[in-house]
Each structure stands twice: as structure tokens, then as C-alpha cells.
Amino acid sequence: MGTVAPVPFRRSRHRHHAGDPPRRVAMVSMHTSPLDQPGTGDAGGLNVYVVELARELARRGTEVEVFTRARSSAAPPEVELAPGVLVRHVAAGPYEGLAKEDLPAQMCTFAAGVLRAEARRDAGWYDLVHSHYWLSGQVADLAADRWGVPLVHSSHTLAKVKNAHLAAGDAPEPAARILGEEQVVAAADRLLANTADEARDLVDRYGAAPERVDVVPPGVDLRRFSPGAGADRGRAAARRALDLPPDALVLVFAGRVQPLKAPDVLLRAAAELLRREGAALRRRLVVAVVGGRSGVGGHAQDLEGLAAHLGLAGVPGVNDVVRFEPPASRDVLPQWFRAADLVAVPSYNESFGLVALEAQACGTPVVAARVGGLATAVSDGISGVLVDGHDPRAWAAALQRLAADPAERERLASGARRHAEGFGWGASADGVLRSYAAALDGRRRVSA
């Protein structure tokens, strides 16, 4: 990482007792801010995870300060996200136009900013550091070592796993990232995995000690993501709000528009479905792609071109099947899920798949790829359907079967909400606090 400006070593003075939760946690989310709109740029499930987890930890008495890179000169140094949750903007590199791939060159500057923020506090201000994604893990390793506190790390995605499940034309993750992940895995006191599969990947692919890996599934805001209440309840109300035909067959993709998320698979499956079903279905099929371009590539434009090529949009005299919608706010996104007959998650890899869980919490079945954490987020045959592979013909077959069977969709819808109710953020926060306590206890035993 290079040379960091010297900061005096400041070991925590707080005496930790076995099982105690931390008083204050420094969270590091360098490459994306919890204040960013999910579904744009590099903002997605990680952002939701940091926001919701931090809020729940604060409700339980553990204060959280989130360090993130400032991407605007207008960004205030500090923003209160919620009572007990503070977001700190650290200047590191140009404010705009810096791709995630260029961020490793700014880790030294970012780390210096994090250390300076702590140096202005009383000794022992933070009891623990929790990093999100490998870039943050590199910075957090340095901070935790300097402050003499434990490091807990959440990978969210792993390069070796992503490279094993690349989309066609997608660039593999670089060797520098793999090395960085290996270093963070070796350094962390505890590692948080979303699923048992991710835990096995950490052990088998990265050499993590099994006893240091804790499986804590993410959660879903069951109040925000719900079937609705009163006048807002149900599919009909949501369709009125979104200007969707009441009798349409609505398929929704929500997320960043990038090859990994595979929205093109849904478009190709929709074209195959229309080929099988003909004009009658075309008059009532709506495929909504809700999300923005991710990174610096042109996949969003490519997707619009693909829709035109497949005859799903831009055909003179024929109604468009595909609606390209901007990223939805956390208030509007539940409306899209309620409006949908089915939500599609065709990703090539997901460490968990929060979109799938949020859709199910709204009472909508999910059709998802049988990859990574989606096999946990979706209960196959109970809350949705898992599809093996990414062949558009297989996806079309799954969609066709469910489109033709309203009773089956209704059965899955009932199971979807019940399944999602097993994943509240409160349970996630409790699991994370147990991992924090184990990390603190481990340090206490070593220093005793």
C-alpha cells in the first residue's frame, strides 16, 4: 500500500469483559457509500447491508461510524445516517470519475484519513473494525493493527468465486484483488459469511481457519418490503401507482445493469417465451428492467440494443415489451415487487441475493439462478423456482410454466412471504454481535 503518514500507536484502554458487545465500531466501506442509491454505479446489496446492519447495531447500543471515500467536494465531512450511526467522508483521489478498478492506488491516502480521524479522538475510541469488501479490508487491517483492536471482515463477493462463474464477455477479477483478499482473510480475527457455501469458499479457496468463520445471513426490512397495507395493499394498487396494465403479465428485474447480474438472460428468455406463445401474450407481457448502469462499461446501452434486436422494444407499430426504468428508491422498489407476477434474478453469481429476499417479502415469487447464495435466499418450490444454468430456453420454460398456472404462482406467493419472514435484520444484527464478541474475547485471551 505504500507509506502512510506516522500516527502514534493507540491501543484501546477499554476493558472488555467476556461476551460484552463493542461500545463503538468503525465500519469501512471505501468503494461505495451507504448514502448512495442502490442500483446505480457500484451501489447494491452491500450498501443496503451496511445501512440496515448499522441501524440495528445502534438500536442495540453499539454506535457505528462508517468510513467511506468522498465522491463530491460538496459532501460534508460527517452525516448522521440514523441515531447512533455516523457516516464519515474521507478525501482520497478525485471526487468524480474514479472507477472501482482505480481505487487500489488511493488506499494509502484513504487509510491515512481514517487514522487521522481516530487520532483526534480519545485513545480507545473504537473497540472493533468491521470492513466490507476487500479494498476496505486492506485499509481496516492497517487501522485495526494501529489501534490494537480486532478486525471483522465481510467479503460480500469473492474474486475466485466470481472468476469461476463469469458471464460471457465479462472480464475476470485481477490477480491483485485475489492477493488482497487472501491477505485480509489471513489477517481478520473473524470472517462473516452470508451462507454456508460462502463459508466453505473461504475455507477451501482462501485457506481460512474454519473456527474463525461465522455464518450470518443478511436480512430484509419486513416493514418496508411487505405485501402492503390498506389502500396500498396488493398488486392492483402497485400497478396503478406505476402505470402498469392491471391484466399484464409483469416480469421484473431489479439491480445494477451489468453482465454479472445477467439481465440479458431475462430478455432472451422473454423473446423465446413470445416465440412460443405468440401475439396473445405479447399484448400483455411487460418486462421491467429497474436499475442503472454499473461501472464504466456500456452494458446498459448494449441491453437496450439487445431489446431492439430481439423485437422487444423500438419496433414500429408494435407495442414495446421491455420498460427500462431508473433505479428505484427504497420507497418505490417495494411497489415494483408488489406489481410483479414474478421477479427474475438470473445472476451468474450472488453471495446472497438481497433483491430476491426483498421481492419475496413483498409476497412475490422469484425465479432465480441456482448459484451461490440464491439457493439460500430462494426456497425452491416453496417461495420460488431455481433454474439450473443460464440457457434462455430453460428460463423461458420456467417462466412459461408459471405464467400458465396462476394457482401455482399464488401458492408460491404465500410461501415467499413466509420464507422471507425468517430473515429479519434484527436476527442478522444479533449474529454479527456474537461474532464481534468472539473477536473481542479472542483478543482478551491473547492479551491476558
Which amino acids are annotated as binding site, given as ranges? Answer: 31, 37-38, 42-47, 100, 133, 157, 177, 256, 261, 337-338, 340, 350, 358, 364
Q: Is 337 left (phi over 0), alpha (psi -120 to 50) or beta?
A: alpha
One-letter amino acid identity for 92?
A
Residue whose C-alpha cell is 485481477: 174
- What does the alpha-carbon distance between residue 360 and residue 354 come to, in Å, rounded to a whole number? 10
Which cell numbers in the block locate residue 241? 401507482
Annotated binding site for 1D-myo-inositol 3-phosphate: 31, 42-47, 100, 133, 157, 177
CA distance linking residue 5 with residue 184, whole number of Å: 21
C-alpha cell at 354: 438481497
- Residue numbers in the known binding site for Mg(2+) are 337-338, 340, 364
Q: What is the number of residues in the chain?
A: 448
Binding positions for UDP-N-acetyl-alpha-D-glucosamine are: 37-38, 45, 256, 261, 350, 358
Q: Is the dihedral of CA 255, 256, 257, 258 positive or negative?
A: negative
